[in-house]
Structure 1
Amino acid sequence: MIKIAVTGASGRMGQTIIESINQSDGVELGIALDKGDDLGAVLGRFDVLIDFTRPAATLDYLAICVSANKAVVIGTTGFDDARLAVINNVAKQIPVVFAPNMSIGVNLSLKLLDMAARVIGSDADIEIVEAHHRHKVDAPSGTALKMGEVVANALGRDLSKCAVYGREGIEKPRDRETIGFSTIRGGDVVGEHTVSFFMEGERVEITHKASSRMTFANGAVRAANWLKGKSAGLYSMQDVLEVS
């Protein structure tokens, strides 16, 4: 039986993860932690940590897990390049599943996006639109950025150079080499992402809509279970689902 520690346990995502653990086979809740609780004091109570908090807190938890050789599942988003580098270095010492979205459907969508981009090639204007609840603080979402990265890589582009975040005022005609991002925040939207490939006379859209946080929680718990016996390394949900 794999014992799981859950951070941010009183939050909406934390509560959903705990519910998923309680409904899943092969795992059990080892410890639930909130801000201010000392992870280092309960190292004997868990095998894998699931963290969906904030970047700074995630790095603090990672440092403790490295010292105790504990596996980690990271669903936190909003990391800058420096913090991403820390995660990469940590994964050389312990097994880490790091994904901007733990949903099975989203990770299938990433596979479809890679296929669509390779087939359509550079014959389309590509736009990504994402919507989330009013409490989400990072924009665009980590999932939208991952979708853009998959498409850019398939087309041999560098997303950091071709991404356009929002459009305002009078601009030059659209550059087909760019990938556009638009963000919507409002209400209680769990998460919606659409990638559109606009061609002359037709349009291809790949959309994923989440109606419950349970889809992310179930994926995170599945990832925690999958980590059992894995060696140090940085893994994605596509590795977990064996669709990479």
Structure 2
Amino acid sequence: MAIRIAIAGASGRMGRMLVEATLAATDCELHAALDRPGSDTLGLDATAFLGKQSGVLIGADLTALEGADVLIDFTRPEGTLAHVAACRAYGVNMIIGTTGFDEAGSAAIREAAADIAIVHAYNMSVGVNLLIKLLEVAGKALNVGYDVEVVEMHHRLKVDAPSGTALMLGETVATAQGRTLKEAAVYAREGITGEREPGTIGFATLRGGDVIGDHTVMFAGLGERIEISHKASNRTIYAQGSIRAAHFLAGKQSGFFDMQDVLGLR
């Protein structure tokens, strides 16, 4: 039986890639396509941009979620949290790639996972999640004598900084070294800052052009520097990872997961 997929933000750049990836998966079908109220795409066929007719029209009514197996959501925190509540009501699992949640929002997602199965990851890329595994090893091995810096760059339209992926990478290193990111993170440097405090994790955020996502974690020691990087050249990697997550959730009733679980990297 095909996995019935609903997509939030279906007329956006990421949403369209998710629609296309769903159509390309032979064991998945597009169940619903959602967009925000007032969008000029409401009422259009979700696959019109591909020159096809799917019969699934873009809408804003969340009752369209009824009967879906999973909703894939890469929208904004406020929209995603509304979708979490709706999915919980209709018993629809979720894949969440939205970034920028505050602590209350993240807690609400975890709470909902008591009733539905949720994959929540700040980056759905298979490569990035392999990078996380490598950073666990590097963080432990380079725990003494190495300064850690996280550098990320995204397109000019990205609204949150640092990126959710950069925070995830920093948190991975901090955890591997027995600290919390809240204790270790330094997000800004300006003026006379004094010497670098040992054990901190610095973040540098770059924005410009159409860069999809570049992330580098540096371990800078005396006499050597190790850099572990991932560069995304196409958003299809996030859509492909999301479809993989949809397969992972098939048959699950509840629980909170991330892409490390999906890829069996735990």
2:153 aligned with 1:153, yes or no?
no
2:99 aligned with 1:77, yes or no?
yes
Q: Which residue of 2 aligns with 1:212?
A: 234
TM-score, structure 1 length as denominator? Answer: 0.98
Partner of 2:6, secondary structure, is strand
Q: Which has the larger radius of gyration?
A: 2
Q: Distance in 1 between matches of 2:140 and 2:61?
A: 45
Partner of 1:73, secondary structure, is strand
2:108 aligned with 1:86, yes or no?
yes
Q: Is the Cα–Cα contact under 8 Å of residues 32 and 65 in structure 2 kept in the other structure?
A: no
* Post-superposition offset of 1:120: 1.2
Moved more, 70-79 or 156-165: 156-165
Q: Is the Cα–Cα contact under 8 Å of residues 5 and 71 in structure 2 kept in the other structure?
A: yes
Q: Is the Cα–Cα contact under 8 Å of residues 117 and 154 in structure 1 kept in the other structure?
A: yes
* Post-superposition offset of 1:41: 2.2
Q: Distance in 2 between matches of 1:101 and 1:205?
A: 19
Kindly report the root-mean-square deviation, in angstroms, between the aligned alpha carbons of the 2 structures. Answer: 1.0
* Post-superposition offset of 1:137: 0.4
CA distances 1:168-205 after superposition (whole Å, capped 9, x unpaired): 11111001210000000111000000000001100100
TM-score, structure 2 length as denominator? Answer: 0.90
Identity of aligned residues (%): 52
Q: Distance in 1 between matches of 2:34 and 2:26?
A: 22
The aligned amino acid for 2:103 is D
Higher RCO, 1 vs 2 (CA within 8 Å, ≥6 residues apart): 1
* Post-superposition offset of 1:119: 0.9
* Post-superposition offset of 1:43: 2.9
Runs of 5+ consecutive residues of structure 2 not aligned to the other structure: 38-58
Q: Which residue of 1 aligns with 2:17?
A: 16
* Post-superposition offset of 1:17: 0.8
Q: Is the Cα–Cα contact under 8 Å of residues 31 and 45 in structure 1 kept in the other structure?
A: no
Q: Distance in 2 between matches of 1:83 and 1:41?
A: 22
Q: Distance in 2 between matches of 1:166 and 1:142?
A: 16
Partner of 2:118, secondary structure, is strand
